[in-house]
Amino acid sequence: MRIIYLYGVSALLLALSFRKSREKTKKALNKAWKSFSKIFPALLGILILVGVLLAVFDADFISRIIGDESGWIGVVLSAVVGAITLIPGFIAFPTASVLIDNGAGYMQIGAFISSLMMVGMVTAPMEAEYFGKRLTLIRNLMGFIFSFIVAYVIGKVVGGLWF
């Protein structure tokens, strides 16, 4: 669904652009191709690595370390797993809801989802190519720390663990 709308919008704009200027459209497509071929080798490595990591850190493994009783250690561990792995949201959310049904805590799942999205260890080398090592390190580190804040609030609000 989402992909269809993305394709629709780009096809429409591309057609408009083509009507206005054939020359500029060609230039735009050239640029698109150039940016893609620049990013592709790094992406290929990332995708292979994602497969390896997810095969090792499977749902079974994750649910073992982030039970409701696992407390802050479970929160830290799930944030670490979230930081290492790269799972698309439309897989991560259903998985997370299964994990909760199987006894994972809201706080731990909150940490996992947050660091999964904000921290990308696998994509860090690529991020560094654009933003440099220092900035990449700080951004990811901060995302990691912020995922604990998110986890804490979610644990309080959704888990109903008021003081």
Q: How far is the CB of 85 from other proteins (least distance, A)?
A: 10
Q: How far is the CB of 79 from other proteins (least distance, A)?
A: 14
Q: Which CB sits closer to other proteins, 43 or 73?
A: 43
Q: How far is the CB of 76 from other proteins (least distance, A)?
A: 18
Rg of the chain taking only CA atoms, in angstroms: 20
Q: Which CB sits closer to other proteins, 27 or 64?
A: 27
- Provide the terminal-to-terminal Cα distance of the chain, rounded to the nearest Å: 42
Picking from 112, 14, 32, 120, the residue whose alpha carbon sits closest to that of residue 65 is: 112
**In contact, 116 and 85? CB cutoff 8 Å:** yes
Q: Which CB sits closer to other proteins, 47 or 73?
A: 47
